[in-house]
Amino acid sequence: MIVQAIAPDPPADAGWQARLELEIALRHGRSRVVRKHQLGPLTIQRPFHPEGAPCHLYLLHPPGGVVGGDRLQLDVRVASRAHALVTAPGATKFYRSAGPLGLQTQRLVVAAGGVLEWFPHENIFFPGASCRLRTQVVLSGDARFIGWEIQCLGRPAIGERFAEGRAETAMTLSRDGRPLLTDRLRVAGTPSLDGSAGLRGFPVCATFVATGARAETLAAARHRLSEATAYPVGATLIDDLLVIRALAPEVEPVSRLFVHLWSDLRPGLLGLNASMPRIWAT
């Protein structure tokens, strides 16, 4: 593994400036981090191989949250025949801003024959936050991807709503330059939260996607979704892309649902049983 680390002090009038670039490739029968370039407080724990060849990576942001003026950039590249599962120890928190915009950009690139599983914890947007989050998934050839993103506006456990501030999120997925999915959300105050064409009063919205899906994949997903009767969920198959969306009153039920979906679908999509990252048990 080649490691380059540069960590200059950020300017006094700016937030954290952080960038992490990772390249995962197959070496001696296992997927390994063969290149790591780090700028600022964004890094990973030591890679794990609990199921053999696939590499489990845990993202770390030691400051613990994003504030106005922060710029966080993640670039993950998975080479042909390599397989990476990326998660994190806990939620990402976007705190109240005094005005500047906080930015988090994530670019996930998977070469033909590669596999990436992307399972971050939820993003929590505190009232008064001003932030923009972008996730771009770029696939080549028969590259495969399973992943989710969960957005929590306010802290519903204590009755807090995202009544002020601005949050913009986007997740895009393309294959060989052809767009497959563009999922965008823009929230700015109560009207955005309660609109019938928007979040309909739910503080949590979530998206689960998987490539390589077939009709039987959709049927299995809908069977699992039939258990979610307390909040609206839906599944769609677009060519070989499975898209599942949910609105929920809190994070925990939709997070649990997505883990169950992954456990149900992974054997058919990747030929592997679900291997829970050990960090999820802590």
Dump pLDDT digits (tens) for 46-75: 999 999 999 999 999 877 789 999 999 999
**Inside any domain, residue 12:** no
**Inside any domain, residue 2:** no
**Inside any domain, residue 282:** no
Question: Which pLDDT does position 11 carry in this prediction?
Answer: 46
Q: What is the span of the domain harbouring residue 196?
A: 20-271
Distances (CA, A) of 197 to 6, 152, 194, 202: 45, 18, 9, 12
- Residue whose entry in the numeric block shows the structure tokens 């080479």: 79
Q: How many distinct structural domains can be found in the chain?
A: 1
Question: Which pLDDT does position 193 carry in this prediction?
Answer: 85
**Inside any domain, residue 279:** no
Among 117, 142, 146, smallest CA distance to 57 is for: 117
Question: Which pLDDT does position 10 carry in this prediction?
Answer: 40
Name, in order, each residue with C-beta under 8 angstroms of 219's C-beta and a sequence gap of 6 or more.
none
Contact (Cβ atoms closer than 8 angstroms) between residue 161 and residue 126? no
What sign results for the dihedral spanned by CA atoms 58, 62, 68, 70? Answer: negative
Question: Which pLDDT does position 245 carry in this prediction?
Answer: 96
Answer left, alpha or beta for residue 271, where phi above 0 means left and psi between -120 and 50 means alpha. left
**Inside any domain, residue 9:** no
**Inside any domain, residue 1:** no
Contact (Cβ atoms closer than 8 angstroms) between residue 257 and residue 264? no
**Inside any domain, residue 107:** yes
**Inside any domain, residue 8:** no
Regions in the chain scoring below 50 on pLDDT: 1-13
189-230: pLDDT as tens digits: 777 888 776 788 999 999 999 999 999 999 999 999 998 989
